[in-house]
Amino acid sequence: MSNQTTNPSAPTGIVLNIQRYCSHDGPGIRTNVFLKGCSLRCKWCGNPESIRVKPELSYDPKKCKGRECSLCLKDPFPKGAFYFTEGEEGPVKVNWDLTSSCDQELCSLCPTGALEMYGKRMTVDEVLDEVEKDASIYRSSGGGITLSGGECMLQPDFSAALLKGAHERGINTAVETACNVPWANIEKVLPHVDTMLHDHKLTIPERHKKWTGAGNERILANFKKAYETFPDVDFIARTPLIPGVNADEEHIRAVLAFIRPHKNVIDYELLPYHRFGLGKYEYLGKVYELDDYKTPSDEVVKHLQAIIDEAFGRTGKQS
Protein backbone atom coordinates (compact mmCIF):
# COMPACT_ATOMS: atom_id res chain seq x y z
CA MET A 1 0.00 0.00 0.00
CA SER A 2 1.11 3.56 -0.62
CA ASN A 3 1.69 6.04 2.15
CA GLN A 4 -0.33 8.71 0.30
CA THR A 5 -3.10 10.20 2.42
CA THR A 6 -6.61 9.73 1.07
CA ASN A 7 -8.22 12.96 -0.07
CA PRO A 8 -11.95 12.73 0.74
CA SER A 9 -12.80 15.31 -1.93
CA ALA A 10 -10.91 13.45 -4.69
CA PRO A 11 -13.21 12.38 -7.52
CA THR A 12 -14.33 8.79 -7.82
CA GLY A 13 -15.05 6.96 -11.06
CA ILE A 14 -16.57 3.80 -12.49
CA VAL A 15 -13.82 1.29 -13.25
CA LEU A 16 -14.50 -1.76 -15.38
CA ASN A 17 -11.25 -3.61 -14.85
CA ILE A 18 -7.59 -3.23 -13.89
CA GLN A 19 -5.27 -5.38 -15.99
CA ARG A 20 -1.60 -5.83 -15.06
CA TYR A 21 1.40 -6.79 -17.25
CA CYS A 22 0.14 -5.24 -20.52
CA SER A 23 2.68 -4.62 -23.27
CA HIS A 24 0.75 -3.13 -26.20
CA ASP A 25 -0.71 0.13 -24.90
CA GLY A 26 2.20 2.52 -24.47
CA PRO A 27 5.90 2.09 -23.66
CA GLY A 28 7.20 -0.75 -21.45
CA ILE A 29 5.13 -3.04 -19.24
CA ARG A 30 1.95 -1.28 -18.11
CA THR A 31 -1.16 -1.59 -16.00
CA ASN A 32 -4.28 -0.82 -18.03
CA VAL A 33 -7.17 0.74 -16.13
CA PHE A 34 -10.38 0.35 -18.12
CA LEU A 35 -13.04 2.97 -17.35
CA LYS A 36 -16.76 2.52 -18.09
CA GLY A 37 -18.60 4.60 -20.69
CA CYS A 38 -18.13 5.19 -24.41
CA SER A 39 -19.49 7.79 -26.85
CA LEU A 40 -19.05 5.58 -29.92
CA ARG A 41 -20.81 2.36 -30.93
CA CYS A 42 -18.22 0.64 -33.12
CA LYS A 43 -19.82 -2.39 -34.71
CA TRP A 44 -16.64 -4.44 -34.15
CA CYS A 45 -16.37 -3.53 -30.44
CA GLY A 46 -14.77 -6.34 -28.42
CA ASN A 47 -15.58 -4.67 -25.07
CA PRO A 48 -19.37 -4.17 -25.10
CA GLU A 49 -19.34 -4.23 -21.29
CA SER A 50 -17.46 -0.91 -21.35
CA ILE A 51 -20.11 1.05 -23.31
CA ARG A 52 -22.55 2.02 -20.53
CA VAL A 53 -21.19 4.43 -17.93
CA LYS A 54 -23.01 2.77 -15.03
CA PRO A 55 -22.17 -0.66 -13.61
CA GLU A 56 -24.36 -3.32 -15.28
CA LEU A 57 -25.43 -6.91 -14.90
CA SER A 58 -23.61 -9.75 -16.62
CA TYR A 59 -25.17 -13.23 -16.84
CA ASP A 60 -23.29 -16.37 -17.90
CA PRO A 61 -25.93 -19.10 -18.56
CA LYS A 62 -23.21 -21.78 -18.61
CA LYS A 63 -22.73 -21.25 -14.85
CA CYS A 64 -26.44 -21.29 -13.96
CA LYS A 65 -27.77 -24.29 -11.99
CA GLY A 66 -31.27 -23.80 -13.40
CA ARG A 67 -34.46 -24.89 -11.64
CA GLU A 68 -32.64 -26.73 -8.88
CA CYS A 69 -31.48 -23.29 -7.69
CA SER A 70 -34.14 -20.75 -8.79
CA LEU A 71 -32.88 -18.25 -6.20
CA CYS A 72 -33.06 -15.27 -8.55
CA LEU A 73 -36.81 -15.83 -9.12
CA LYS A 74 -37.46 -14.81 -5.52
CA ASP A 75 -37.07 -11.73 -3.32
CA PRO A 76 -34.90 -9.61 -3.20
CA PHE A 77 -34.33 -10.04 -6.97
CA PRO A 78 -36.48 -7.75 -9.16
CA LYS A 79 -39.83 -9.39 -9.97
CA GLY A 80 -39.92 -10.94 -13.46
CA ALA A 81 -36.27 -10.17 -14.29
CA PHE A 82 -35.36 -13.89 -14.17
CA TYR A 83 -37.74 -16.65 -15.30
CA PHE A 84 -38.09 -20.15 -16.74
CA THR A 85 -40.18 -21.00 -19.78
CA GLU A 86 -42.93 -23.52 -19.03
CA GLY A 87 -41.78 -27.10 -19.76
CA GLU A 88 -38.19 -26.11 -20.62
CA GLU A 89 -35.12 -27.20 -18.69
CA GLY A 90 -31.77 -25.43 -18.63
CA PRO A 91 -30.51 -22.13 -17.34
CA VAL A 92 -32.67 -19.24 -16.19
CA LYS A 93 -33.74 -16.62 -18.77
CA VAL A 94 -33.35 -12.89 -18.31
CA ASN A 95 -35.68 -9.99 -19.10
CA TRP A 96 -32.92 -7.38 -19.49
CA ASP A 97 -35.43 -4.50 -19.28
CA LEU A 98 -36.05 -5.36 -15.62
CA THR A 99 -32.45 -5.71 -14.41
CA SER A 100 -31.46 -2.06 -13.87
CA SER A 101 -31.75 -2.33 -10.07
CA CYS A 102 -29.33 -5.28 -9.88
CA ASP A 103 -26.12 -4.48 -8.03
CA GLN A 104 -23.05 -6.21 -6.62
CA GLU A 105 -24.76 -7.11 -3.35
CA LEU A 106 -27.66 -8.79 -5.16
CA CYS A 107 -25.36 -10.64 -7.58
CA SER A 108 -23.35 -12.02 -4.67
CA LEU A 109 -26.46 -14.07 -3.71
CA CYS A 110 -26.12 -16.16 -6.88
CA PRO A 111 -24.29 -19.28 -5.63
CA THR A 112 -22.41 -20.05 -8.85
CA GLY A 113 -21.21 -16.63 -10.02
CA ALA A 114 -23.54 -16.77 -13.04
CA LEU A 115 -24.70 -13.27 -12.08
CA GLU A 116 -21.99 -10.61 -11.77
CA MET A 117 -21.64 -6.88 -12.25
CA TYR A 118 -19.43 -5.22 -14.84
CA GLY A 119 -17.87 -2.11 -13.26
CA LYS A 120 -17.60 -0.62 -9.79
CA ARG A 121 -17.05 2.81 -8.25
CA MET A 122 -13.49 3.35 -7.01
CA THR A 123 -11.48 6.19 -5.51
CA VAL A 124 -8.30 7.56 -7.07
CA ASP A 125 -6.18 6.08 -4.27
CA GLU A 126 -7.81 2.65 -4.55
CA VAL A 127 -6.86 2.52 -8.23
CA LEU A 128 -3.37 3.95 -7.78
CA ASP A 129 -2.55 1.65 -4.86
CA GLU A 130 -3.31 -1.28 -7.16
CA VAL A 131 -1.30 0.22 -10.02
CA GLU A 132 1.66 1.03 -7.78
CA LYS A 133 2.15 -2.65 -6.92
CA ASP A 134 4.16 -2.96 -10.15
CA ALA A 135 6.25 0.21 -9.67
CA SER A 136 9.52 -1.73 -9.92
CA ILE A 137 8.42 -3.28 -13.25
CA TYR A 138 7.57 0.18 -14.61
CA ARG A 139 11.03 1.44 -13.57
CA SER A 140 12.87 -1.43 -15.25
CA SER A 141 10.74 -1.51 -18.42
CA GLY A 142 9.87 2.17 -18.90
CA GLY A 143 6.20 1.36 -18.37
CA GLY A 144 3.42 2.85 -16.26
CA ILE A 145 -0.34 3.30 -16.17
CA THR A 146 -2.59 3.43 -19.26
CA LEU A 147 -6.18 4.65 -18.97
CA SER A 148 -8.42 2.91 -21.46
CA GLY A 149 -12.09 2.10 -21.81
CA GLY A 150 -14.62 2.64 -23.06
CA GLU A 151 -13.60 6.23 -23.43
CA CYS A 152 -11.54 7.44 -20.47
CA MET A 153 -12.11 11.09 -21.46
CA LEU A 154 -15.82 10.68 -20.59
CA GLN A 155 -14.76 10.73 -16.91
CA PRO A 156 -12.37 13.69 -17.26
CA ASP A 157 -12.12 14.72 -13.58
CA PHE A 158 -11.45 11.16 -12.46
CA SER A 159 -9.00 10.52 -15.31
CA ALA A 160 -7.12 13.77 -14.66
CA ALA A 161 -6.91 12.99 -10.93
CA LEU A 162 -5.66 9.45 -11.62
CA LEU A 163 -2.97 10.61 -14.03
CA LYS A 164 -1.88 13.53 -11.84
CA GLY A 165 -1.69 11.16 -8.86
CA ALA A 166 0.32 8.67 -10.94
CA HIS A 167 2.84 11.37 -11.84
CA GLU A 168 3.09 12.33 -8.17
CA ARG A 169 4.01 8.70 -7.45
CA GLY A 170 6.63 8.76 -10.23
CA ILE A 171 4.58 6.62 -12.63
CA ASN A 172 4.60 7.23 -16.40
CA THR A 173 1.13 7.89 -17.86
CA ALA A 174 -0.71 7.08 -21.09
CA VAL A 175 -4.29 7.28 -22.32
CA GLU A 176 -6.05 5.35 -25.04
CA THR A 177 -8.84 7.47 -26.53
CA ALA A 178 -11.02 8.08 -29.58
CA CYS A 179 -11.42 11.77 -28.60
CA ASN A 180 -15.16 11.83 -29.40
CA VAL A 181 -15.71 14.18 -26.45
CA PRO A 182 -15.85 17.96 -25.91
CA TRP A 183 -12.43 19.66 -26.11
CA ALA A 184 -12.86 20.78 -22.48
CA ASN A 185 -12.53 17.12 -21.38
CA ILE A 186 -9.30 16.64 -23.33
CA GLU A 187 -7.87 19.92 -22.03
CA LYS A 188 -8.40 18.69 -18.48
CA VAL A 189 -6.70 15.31 -18.99
CA LEU A 190 -3.78 15.93 -21.37
CA PRO A 191 -1.62 18.07 -19.03
CA HIS A 192 -1.07 14.85 -17.04
CA VAL A 193 -0.34 12.55 -20.01
CA ASP A 194 3.03 11.35 -21.35
CA THR A 195 1.67 9.31 -24.29
CA MET A 196 -1.72 9.56 -26.02
CA LEU A 197 -2.78 6.57 -28.13
CA HIS A 198 -5.64 7.65 -30.37
CA ASP A 199 -7.80 5.84 -32.91
CA HIS A 200 -8.16 6.92 -36.52
CA LYS A 201 -10.95 4.44 -37.27
CA LEU A 202 -12.25 5.67 -40.64
CA THR A 203 -11.43 8.73 -42.72
CA ILE A 204 -14.68 9.55 -44.55
CA PRO A 205 -17.26 11.14 -42.17
CA GLU A 206 -20.28 9.22 -43.56
CA ARG A 207 -18.46 5.88 -43.27
CA HIS A 208 -17.23 6.78 -39.80
CA LYS A 209 -20.84 7.44 -38.79
CA LYS A 210 -22.07 4.21 -40.37
CA TRP A 211 -19.53 2.02 -38.54
CA THR A 212 -19.15 3.85 -35.23
CA GLY A 213 -22.43 5.72 -34.78
CA ALA A 214 -20.81 9.19 -34.97
CA GLY A 215 -19.12 11.36 -37.58
CA ASN A 216 -15.40 12.11 -37.24
CA GLU A 217 -15.38 15.91 -37.68
CA ARG A 218 -15.12 16.67 -33.94
CA ILE A 219 -12.65 13.81 -33.47
CA LEU A 220 -10.26 15.08 -36.15
CA ALA A 221 -10.54 18.67 -34.90
CA ASN A 222 -9.69 17.43 -31.38
CA PHE A 223 -6.69 15.42 -32.63
CA LYS A 224 -5.27 18.43 -34.49
CA LYS A 225 -5.82 20.76 -31.55
CA ALA A 226 -4.25 18.23 -29.18
CA TYR A 227 -1.13 17.86 -31.39
CA GLU A 228 -0.76 21.65 -31.51
CA THR A 229 -1.66 22.49 -27.89
CA PHE A 230 0.44 19.78 -26.22
CA PRO A 231 3.77 19.63 -28.09
CA ASP A 232 5.46 17.63 -25.31
CA VAL A 233 3.00 14.74 -25.40
CA ASP A 234 3.98 11.72 -27.53
CA PHE A 235 1.03 10.89 -29.78
CA ILE A 236 0.63 7.43 -31.29
CA ALA A 237 -2.07 7.05 -33.94
CA ARG A 238 -3.75 3.65 -34.24
CA THR A 239 -6.22 1.92 -36.55
CA PRO A 240 -8.21 -1.18 -35.63
CA LEU A 241 -7.81 -2.94 -38.98
CA ILE A 242 -10.99 -4.59 -40.28
CA PRO A 243 -11.20 -6.13 -43.76
CA GLY A 244 -14.14 -4.65 -45.69
CA VAL A 245 -14.23 -1.60 -43.38
CA ASN A 246 -10.86 0.16 -43.34
CA ALA A 247 -8.07 -2.35 -44.11
CA ASP A 248 -7.06 -0.55 -47.28
CA GLU A 249 -4.31 1.71 -48.58
CA GLU A 250 -6.68 4.63 -49.06
CA HIS A 251 -7.42 4.88 -45.33
CA ILE A 252 -3.82 4.31 -44.23
CA ARG A 253 -2.51 6.97 -46.61
CA ALA A 254 -5.21 9.44 -45.53
CA VAL A 255 -4.22 8.96 -41.87
CA LEU A 256 -0.55 9.40 -42.73
CA ALA A 257 -1.34 12.63 -44.57
CA PHE A 258 -3.16 13.86 -41.46
CA ILE A 259 -0.52 12.95 -38.88
CA ARG A 260 2.87 13.32 -40.60
CA PRO A 261 2.96 17.16 -40.52
CA HIS A 262 2.90 16.86 -36.70
CA LYS A 263 6.31 15.79 -35.38
CA ASN A 264 4.94 14.83 -31.96
CA VAL A 265 2.92 12.03 -33.60
CA ILE A 266 5.73 9.55 -33.15
CA ASP A 267 4.14 6.42 -34.58
CA TYR A 268 1.14 4.87 -36.31
CA GLU A 269 0.14 1.36 -35.20
CA LEU A 270 -2.16 -1.16 -36.83
CA LEU A 271 -4.36 -3.30 -34.58
CA PRO A 272 -5.58 -6.28 -36.66
CA TYR A 273 -9.22 -7.06 -35.89
CA HIS A 274 -9.78 -10.12 -33.72
CA ARG A 275 -12.86 -11.87 -32.44
CA PHE A 276 -11.87 -12.27 -28.78
CA GLY A 277 -14.36 -11.39 -26.11
CA LEU A 278 -17.47 -11.79 -28.22
CA GLY A 279 -19.01 -14.07 -25.57
CA LYS A 280 -19.53 -10.90 -23.53
CA TYR A 281 -22.34 -9.90 -25.91
CA GLU A 282 -24.27 -12.94 -24.71
CA TYR A 283 -23.52 -12.11 -21.05
CA LEU A 284 -25.14 -8.68 -21.61
CA GLY A 285 -28.11 -9.96 -23.60
CA LYS A 286 -26.81 -8.24 -26.77
CA VAL A 287 -26.24 -9.42 -30.34
CA TYR A 288 -22.87 -9.07 -32.14
CA GLU A 289 -23.54 -7.64 -35.61
CA LEU A 290 -20.21 -8.39 -37.30
CA ASP A 291 -20.50 -12.16 -37.32
CA ASP A 292 -19.32 -12.53 -40.94
CA TYR A 293 -16.16 -10.45 -40.59
CA LYS A 294 -12.73 -12.08 -40.56
CA THR A 295 -9.34 -11.10 -39.19
CA PRO A 296 -7.08 -9.46 -41.82
CA SER A 297 -4.54 -11.72 -43.56
CA ASP A 298 -0.84 -11.43 -42.67
CA GLU A 299 -0.24 -10.31 -46.25
CA VAL A 300 -2.60 -7.33 -45.96
CA VAL A 301 -1.19 -6.31 -42.57
CA LYS A 302 2.41 -6.53 -43.84
CA HIS A 303 1.58 -4.51 -46.95
CA LEU A 304 -0.10 -1.70 -44.97
CA GLN A 305 2.63 -1.78 -42.31
CA ALA A 306 5.26 -1.31 -45.04
CA ILE A 307 3.48 1.87 -46.19
CA ILE A 308 3.58 3.20 -42.61
CA ASP A 309 7.23 2.21 -42.13
CA GLU A 310 8.18 3.99 -45.33
CA ALA A 311 6.34 7.16 -44.25
CA PHE A 312 8.19 7.08 -40.92
CA GLY A 313 11.55 6.47 -42.65
CA ARG A 314 11.85 2.87 -41.42
CA THR A 315 12.25 1.31 -44.84
CA GLY A 316 14.64 -1.35 -43.44
CA LYS A 317 11.66 -2.94 -41.63
CA GLN A 318 9.70 -3.58 -44.81
CA SER A 319 9.08 -7.20 -45.74
Residues in the site for ligand SF4, rule: CB under 6 A? 64-65, 69-72, 82, 92, 110-112, 114-115
CB of 273 to ligand SF4, least distance (A): 32
Nearer to ligand SF4, 76 or 316 (CB): 76
CB of 63 to ligand SF4, least distance (A): 7
Nearer to ligand SF4, 28 or 78 (CB): 78
CB of 280 to ligand SF4, least distance (A): 17
- Find out whether 65 and 54 touch, Cβ atoms under 8 Å: no
CB of 297 to ligand SF4, least distance (A): 41
Nearer to ligand SF4, 22 or 71 (CB): 71
- Find out whether 173 and 179 touch, Cβ atoms under 8 Å: no
β-strand 30-35 against 144-148: which pairing, if any?
parallel
Distance between CA atoms of residues 61 and 77, nearest Å: 17
CB of 80 to ligand SF4, least distance (A): 13
Q: Residue 162: which of 286, 301, 10, 21 has the closest Cα? A: 10
Spatial CB neighbours of 84, under 8 Å, sequence gap ≥ 6: 66, 67, 70, 73, 92, 93
Nearer to ligand SF4, 97 or 291 (CB): 97
Nearer to ligand SF4, 93 or 188 (CB): 93
Runs of H (alpha helix) within 169-297: 183-189, 205-212, 217-229, 249-259, 279-283
Instruction: Give the burial class of 186: count Cβ atoms within 10 A of its Cβ; 0-12 exposed, 13-18 middle, 19 or more buried.
Output: buried
